[in-house]
Amino acid sequence: MNNETITLPDLGWGAFYQSQLSIEEVESMRPLRVTEVHRNTMETMGVDGPVSVPMNRMMAEHGMAVGDWLLTDRDSVHAERVLDRKSLIKRGSAGLEAVAQLIAANIDTLFIVSSCNADFNIARLERYMALAHQAEVEPVLVLTKADTCDDPSEYVSRAAELQNVITITIDATSGDTVEHLAPWCGVGQTVALVGSSGVGKSTITNTMTGLDLLTKGIREDDAKGVHTTTARSMYRMVTGGWLVDTPGMRALRLVDARDAVDAVFEDISDLALTCKFNDCTHENEPGCALRAAIDAGELTEARIGRWQKLVREEDRSGETIAESRARNKKFHQENKYAQKLRRSKKGK
């Protein structure tokens, strides 16, 4: 990349960010886009090339993500402010508290990556679809390893259950990938890759950037990869846009995504509003619109089950720490009681 000739629009800048600057700020400040997030430093890119910006209190309190826009004084590396984000991809991190981990900011498209093998799992893909809906970015399903599979179209048909998503099948190691993904990867566009470990995210990144990032072989037996990518970085693609590679996720936990879940299952959530009882569990109540749709062959039990699972998870992630502790305590008490009962029955 020739840093000397890079412009703000090349970096993804546009009216949305420009309108956040006062006239004074336009004169005195420089916008920098975060390309790498580290504990103490942000690596950024501006029109004069790369700049390392030390983490400060404002940034720590705000929370930083790859793709963020920072403002510093023209001759300083001290960040004054983080601009409002056009979009934000975040997920729940492990533990009791619903703390969000920021994955990427200001992206236009989410490439949901899976492969044409045993990794393909519709429930997991629905979760990623909810992630895209929540961030209000366009999802594109990218199915890798089409070259290793007899009939990739079988996976495309299975993906049709996701509704309203473009599906592309690729061999991520081949140069043809650039052409297939180009519509989302042009100048000014930013894309993030998400998906399980070993599906080929870094391979796509290598092909799209011409770089040689670390990728690792896959274990043959279970189609699971070995976690390879550890940091989050944004790279310039040969097509002019920017790409955020992310480490494979073992389990994606959504946060504050109830509306997004309903959007992914819009047909079901809309229909559920027409059930006779507004607290219908969709199991055996009279006047249940979902049961009627199953009977009519319009919906499958499995898909309704996946929707309900995500809704339950969302209801739980909305609970306070105290509520969650109380639920766990009750569960353990009930378990203990059941064990005691079993033991006393055995003893008889």
Ligand X SMILES: Nc1nc2c(ncn2[C@@H]2O[C@H](COP(=O)(O)OP(=O)(O)OP(=O)(O)O)[C@@H](O)[C@H]2O)c(=O)[nH]1
Q: Which residues bind ligand X (CB under 6 A)?
A: 144-145, 147-148, 171-173, 197-203, 215-218, 225, 227-229, 247-248
Q: Is the distance from CB of 317 to CB of 255 less than 8 angstroms?
A: yes
By a kind-dependent CB cut-off of 5 to 8 A, residue 317 interacts, out of ligand X, Mg ion, none, with none
Query: Given the complex with ligand X, which of 148 and 274 has the nearer CB atom?
Result: 148
What DSSP element (H or E) covers 34?
strand 29-37
Q: Is the distance from CB of 141 to CB of 162 less than 8 angstroms?
A: yes
Q: Is the distance from CB of 268 to CB of 325 less than 8 angstroms?
A: no
Smallest separation (angstroms) from ligand X to the CB of 330: 37
Smallest separation (angstroms) from ligand X to the CB of 245: 7
By a kind-dependent CB cut-off of 5 to 8 A, residue 199 interacts, out of ligand X, Mg ion, none, with ligand X
Query: Given the complex with ligand X, which of 119 and 262 has the nearer CB atom?
Result: 119
Q: Does 233 bind Mg ion (CB under 5 A)?
A: no
Q: Which among 282, 262, 26, 301 has a CA at the least distance from the CA of 129?
A: 262
Positive or negative: CA dihedral 163, 169, 172, 174: negative
Q: Does 228 bind Mg ion (CB under 5 A)?
A: yes
DSSP β-bridge partners for residue 41: 54
Query: Given the complex with ligand X, which of 98 and 178 has the nearer CB atom?
Result: 178
What DSSP element (H or E) covers 261?
helix 258-264
Q: Does 106 bind Mg ion (CB under 5 A)?
A: no
Smallest separation (angstroms) from ligand X to the CB of 347: 50
Rounded distance, CA 21 to CA 29, Å?
A: 9
Rounded distance, CA 36 to CA 82, Å?
A: 15
Positive or negative: CA dihedral 164, 170, 172, 174: negative
Smallest separation (angstroms) from Mg ion to the CB of 197: 7
Query: Given the complex with Mg ion, which of 70 and 208 has the nearer CB atom?
Result: 208
Smallest separation (angstroms) from Mg ion to the CB of 216: 8
Positive or negative: CA dihedral 90, 321, 312, 341: positive
Query: Given the complex with ligand X, which of 176 and 323 has the nearer CB atom?
Result: 176
What DSSP element (H or E) covers 131?
helix 122-135
Smallest separation (angstroms) from ligand X to the CB of 63: 23
Query: Given the complex with Mg ion, which of 113 and 185 has the nearer CB atom?
Result: 113
Distance between first and last Cα of the chain: 78
By a kind-dependent CB cut-off of 5 to 8 A, residue 31 interacts, out of ligand X, Mg ion, none, with none
Candidate list 134, 169, 229, 308; residue touching Mg ion; CB under 5 A: 229
Residues that bind Mg ion (CB under 5 A): 201-202, 228-229
